[in-house]
Amino acid sequence: MALLPIIVAPDPRLNKKAKPVAEVDARVRKLMGDMLETMYLAPGIGLAAPQVGVLERVIVLDLAHEGEEPRPLRMANPELLWVSDEDAVYNEGCLSVPEHYADVTRPAKIKVRYLDENNKEVELEAEGLLATCIQHEMDHLDGILFIDHLTALKRNIILRKLLKAKKAAPQPARDHAL
């Protein structure tokens, strides 16, 4: 397993649409494992492949609390089959938008289909934070960040602060996209 550097906004790599994986093979399984290790260390409850510079439709999640047995979810090519009319608001964060949080409204319940780590097709119904987190991670696969759900004014305030922080503490050259 390996730790992967997490890309921080603003960065054009976070605004691109990711490509589907052909199948979940050993390479994709390793990516899923590396992403989980990176997510646990961050710490976070979800991570999408574009956040670590891989433009493929892969996400991982684990909503288990500290002290509980881990419950990792590994998803490739996730697709929403159904969303509820009822909405839910959650104060979201993002490892690519560090230290900023904002209320985002999304469908409260969803049904998602994906390939698991064994390349098996799975359908899952989710609600609460799991539904929010799956939708947040799926947004990353389409180049959308939670701040894109805010007004342009709020989004630009956050982006300006992130850019200022980046200029004050530049990343190593390999991550330096701006």
- Binding positions for Fe cation: 94, 136, 140
Q: Decide: helix, strand or coil at residue 104.
A: strand
Binding string, 75-94, against Zn ion, x = CB under 5 A?
-------------------x
Instruction: Examine the residue annotation and report whether 137 is marked as an active-site residue of this protein.
Output: yes
- Of the candidate spans 16-24, 67-75, 90-98, 110-118, the one that interacts with ligand K1U by CB under 6 A turns out to be 90-98
Q: What share of the chain is helix, strand, coil (3-state, %, to 5)?
A: 35, 25, 40
Q: Decide: helix, strand or coil at residue 164.
A: helix
Amino acid, res. 128: G
Nearest to 49 by CA among 72, 74, 26: 74
Q: Least CB distance from residue 123 to ligand K1U, whole Å? A: 21
Q: Least CB distance from residue 146 to ligand K1U, whole Å? A: 7
Q: Least CB distance from residue 71 to ligand K1U, whole Å? A: 14
Peptide bond into 43 cis (omega under 30): yes
Binding string, 25-44, against ligand K1U, x = CB under 6 A?
------------------xx
Angle at 122 between CA 56 and CA 40, to 5 degrees: 55
Q: Does 132 bind ligand K1U (CB under 6 A)?
A: yes
For tokens 């490892």, name the residue: 95
Q: Does 54 bind Zn ion (CB under 5 A)?
A: no
Positions touching ligand K1U (CB under 6 A) are: 43-48, 51, 90, 92-96, 132-133, 136-137
Catalytic site residues?
Answer: 137
